[in-house]
Amino acid sequence: MEMTGARVVVECLLEQGVDTVFGYPGGTILNIYDELYKYQDRITHYLTSHEQGAAHAADGYARSTGKVGVCLATSGPGATNLTTGIATAYMDSSPVVFICCNVGQKLLGKDTFQEVDITGVAMPITKSTYLVRDVNKLADTIRTAFGLARSGRPGPVLIDITKDVTAALVDYAPLPREEHRKNGMLGKLISRARTSSLLMPEPDQQDIDILAEMIRDSEKPMLICGGGVTRSRAHMEFREFARKIDAPVAITLMGGGAMDGADPLATGMIGMHGSQASNRGVAGCDLLIAVGCRFSDRVALKPDTFAPQAKIVHIDIDRAEINKNVQTDHHIIGNAKDVLRKLNEQIPQYNHTEWKRYVFSFPTETKYDDDVNGAMTPKQILSTIAEMLPKDTTVATDVGEHQMWAIQHFHFSYPGQLLTSGGYGTMGFGLGAAIGAQAGNPEKTVIHITGDGSFRMNCNELATEEHYKLPIITFIFNNGVLGMVHQWQKLMYGQRYSQTILDRGPDFVKLAEAYGLKGTRVTCVEELRSAIEDAKQERKAGRGYVIDCAVATEEMVRPMVNGGTNITEFLLN
């Protein structure tokens, strides 16, 4: 069937089962938007306030649903406005396909209006980029991009299409997604891409046998649950594995929800703001098994002294991660779900009561005082939220102190429940991610936890939330400062608070009202309870809500270990 390249793009989206996209139009991508207009009954498009918001929304959609997210943008500033969102998805292994359109081929390389080499810009922060200059290659490129985004270690892929290709005519033959691998086309194209983590490596049985022997010889095993468990939806296999070897489990930022935070084996977060139980358990174990964990500088703060008494085993889908940050004694390359399933089939039940008693003699959660001058503690706010909202509430956070508090005090119970920027630490991620999560999971309660600094970054997406009747509840931890940076200045920079005092607008309640939403400021638990009840009523009517929560400036995230020091050298307890 003959059709334009623009229609090929839309038909290929339908091939992939796409029914939701996020984006912002412009001149070079108008042909695609014109086709989308004709497909409104099959593909829902969410127009955000800014391309960065669209990128985060597509990312949040992908993380919360397990599907590939899709984001559209025009050339030049439209494309470059995506880059923060692309990098965020890349660092956290989130599968998103970004589709941009560039100027016509004859205008490339001539400093044409709104021209940019976005494939070059995005190359370091994607699994692969493609510039399509031949309409005959368009369909296969889109199919490859989706296969690549979801294959192996997931991640973002960018396609840039010249405008003349979207207007050109081509014979298009539909190819259902299930046929893509059968005809060998996808594998051949993926094999030419530039990343090492494309296809699903089969775990080596000998490597699994070696680990089974190491487990047999261990008296003090410890597990780290990383983001790879979340991405592969290997949570049930991981929990079975933890129970079978009877080992305490430390959870990384990205591993939240893969191991139920309320599980008796869970020791809480590990690393710079990890619990004493997690950090001391890693320091004292004789076998450390990290699953889907990158050993980043926020986990292994001083790599050469990390888990000093342990044999370290790393299970990861991406060979490039092995021995990158921490030297291991053994590793297994493979999808976490496959590796854990094989391990569970062959290891017996173990019992490590004495070792667990030691680890859990240390606190798994920080305790905060209840009375702070005219403000609430983080624990009070989060406990109230958890008590009053459904247990399966999806939580999107921004980055800063509020992020750490949320992860410390919420007990996430399933993959995709926590949406947060771990590797890239993107302030402004949360509201866009919440929009994507609510769009992809309309039946669920979705909340956005942010700080007064982060919320300023992308609060313009309240317009998107209101227009599409996405009933997201935003909780602002308002302490009047850029909290995490301010905390570092207090502890390590002689209390020289350079440019971290937020003694300025806006009034967040009035801001919410300007966007057509209700908002309120609360200073105590009773007011917070009343506000949440009001927000729940607004949700029933399809309206979002903003709750500005007063938090004392002097509140800090505890525990804290300084970067570059041993994991048990707590600067704050």
Q: Is 403 a catalytic residue?
A: no
Q: Which amino acid is it at 324?
A: K
Of 127, 163, 220, 379, the active-site residue reads 163
Supply the DSSP symbol for 302. S
Among residues 379, 405, 431, which one has the least CA distance to residue 483? 405
Contact 85, 121 (CB under 8 A): no
Of 91, 457, 484, 556, the active-site residue reads 484
Q: Is 438 a catalytic residue?
A: no
Q: Which amino acid is it at 274?
A: G
Q: Is 114 a catalytic residue?
A: yes
Q: Is 163 a catalytic residue?
A: yes
The separation between CA 435 and the C-alpha centre of its own chain, rounded to angstroms, equals: 14
Query: Residue 553 — left, alpha, or beta (φ > 0 → left; ψ -120 to 50 → alpha)?
Result: alpha
Q: CB neighbours of 97 closer than 8 A, spacing ≥ 6?
A: 68, 69, 70, 71, 142, 145, 146, 149, 156, 157, 158, 159
Q: ∠122-421-318 over CA atoms, to 5°? A: 65
Helix (H) or strand (E) holding 276: helix 276-284
Q: What is d(CA 128, CA 195) in angstroms, rounded to the nearest whole number?
A: 7
Bridge partners of 550, per DSSP, are 478
Of 38, 113, 346, 537, the active-site residue reads 113
Contact 25, 79 (CB under 8 A): no
Q: What is d(CA 45, CA 23) in angstroms, rounded to the nearest whole number?
A: 7
Q: Is 490 a catalytic residue?
A: no
Q: How far apart are the first and last CA of the chain?
A: 67
Of 105, 114, 244, 302, the active-site residue reads 114
Q: What is d(CA 522, CA 283) in angstroms, rounded to the nearest whole number?
A: 41
Of 11, 15, 35, 51, the active-site residue reads 51
Catalytic residues: 51, 113-114, 163, 484
